[in-house]
Amino acid sequence: MPCTVIAGGFWGDEGKGKIISYLALKEPLDVCVRTGSVNAAHTIWYQGKRYALHMVPGGFVHEKCRLLIAAGSNVEIKSFLEEVELTGVKSRIGVDSQASIIEEKHAEQDKASAYLKGTIGTTGRGVGPAVEERARRSAKLARDIPELKPYIADVATETNKAIDAGKNVLLEGTQGILLSLFHGTYPYVTSRDTSAAAICSEVGVGPTKVDNVLLVLKSFMTRVGTGPLPGEISKEEAQKRGWFETAAGTGRDRRAAPFNFELAKKAVMINGATQIALTKLDCIYPKCQGARTFNELPVEAKQLINDIEKQTGTPVALVGTGPDALDLIDRRQ
């Protein structure tokens, strides 16, 4: 901290939710700002309960954390209100007055498009069509919506003031760099840039205000929807290795492949990563399950961490070893 950007290094689903919940509880976080939209789900285990959040920032697990939704985000009103209820954060969540709104018609447009649904494999939540409408300057904004009135905030001002006051601020990215509209595997990408710089831009925080860029990489790679996945293995093989996952948001199968150093290096470069969080190490080395110190790890796991550090030139500061927020090795002093 004080201002950390958390970004995904592959195709999303790297385990950002878990890392955010750890930081929220541990630091503890004062402000957590979510970017992106409802196509992304962040999975968080908290007090024995699993949350798949599409709108509420992962920092909700720390009950004093102020939660904000960025101007660059797209808000789906029903999901937002449901999640606010579910997490009980009504008194401490704010939505930027200029965040744009996803309407029912946008989700219908996603689903009605054979190209988006079939070729691209959209999540069907309407984010792409909502972004299109925003670019045409005809979108509804949060400030136009009566139900959102109690939540309206100036997120850029609040966030910058918190940073200037030395508070712990986390800017929460969604998806991963390889789904970026600019830097990903176009056209098999989402409708926004997902890089650390874009996360800052969505919030309204300048690059000079950021101290850390924490890049989340999973110990193997997964991807939902279509598009290239180097080294892809079959579903049967993924099941055998314990790498088979289904999407938290849509329930679709996630395709799987081994960790790719070239892609990791590119992700570090484009995001300007200062630290890496490596997640799900226990899925590739079951002996790591629940480890809380580096010394507990088997030699192959230590070797992988050392290789990642060497090849990317970036420290692996956090290592996830299980689903709980606290199943983690914290290697920052």
Task: Compute the distance between CA of residue 220 and CA of residue 218 in angstroms, rounded to an integer.
Answer: 5
Q: Which does 94 bind (CB under 5 to 8 A by kind): Mg ion, ligand IMP, none?
A: none
| CB nearer ligand IMP, residue 191 or residue 219 | 191
Window 231-270: contact mask with Mg ion (x via CB under 5 A): -----------------x----------------------
What is the contact mask toward ligand IMP in residues 198 to 227, using x (rule: CB under 6 A)?
A: --------------------------xx--
C-alpha span between 125 and 224 (Å, rounded): 14
Q: Is 100 in the site for ligand IMP (CB under 6 A)?
A: no
Task: Tell which positions 13-32 bind ligand IMP, by CB under 6 A.
Answer: 13
- In the list 16, 62, 106, 125, the residue contacting ligand IMP (rule: CB under 6 A) is 125
Binding marks (x or -) toward ligand IMP, 41..60, rule CB under 6 A?
Answer: --------------------
Q: Which residues contact 45 (CB under 8 A, 6 or more apart)?
A: 18, 21, 51, 323, 324, 325
> Least Å distance between CB 128 and ligand IMP?
5
- From candidates 43, 122, 212, 274, binder to ligand IMP by CB under 6 A: 122
Under rule CB under 5 A, how many of the chain's residues touch Mg ion?
3
- The minimum distance between CB 46 and ligand IMP, in angstroms, equals 19
Considering only 7, 29, 32, 41, the residue that binds Mg ion (CB under 5 A) is 41
The one catalytic residue in 30, 42, 106, 183 is 42
Q: How far is the CB of 102 from ligand IMP (least distance, A)?
A: 11
Q: Which is nearer to Mg ion, 275 or 279 (CB)?
A: 279
What would the x/- binding string for ligand IMP be over residues 173 to 192, using CB under 6 A?
Answer: -xx---x--------x-xx-
Residue 23 or 38: the one with the smaller Cβ distance to Mg ion is 38
| Cis? peptide before 258, omega within 30° of 0 | no
191 contact, one of Mg ion, ligand IMP, none, CB 5-8 Å limit per kind: ligand IMP
Taking contact as CB under 5 A, which single stretch among the options 11-19, 68-76, 221-229, 325-333 is the one that binds Mg ion?
11-19
Of 66 and 218, which has the nearer Cβ to ligand IMP? Answer: 218
CA distance 215 to 304: 17
* Three-state SS sequence of the chain: CCEEEEEECCCCCCCHHHHHHHHHHHCCCCEEEECCCCCCCEEEEECCEEEEECCCCHHHHCCCCEEEECCCCEECHHHHHHHHHHHCCHHHEEEECCCEECCHHHHHHHHHCHHHHHHHCCCCCCHHHHHHHHHCCCCCEHHHCHHHHHHEECHHHHHHHHHHCCCCEEEECCCCHHHCCCCCCCCCCCCCCCCHHHHHHHHCCCHHHCCEEEEEEECEEEECCCCCCCCCECHHHHHHHCCCEECCCCCCEEEEEECCHHHHHHHHHHHCCCEEEEECHHHHCHHHCCCCCHHHCCHHHHHHHHHHHHHHCCCEEEEECCCCCCCEEECCC
42 is catalytic: yes
Indicate if 211 belongs to the active site: no
Which residues of the chain form contacts with Mg ion (CB under 5 A)? 13, 41, 248
Active site residues: 13, 42
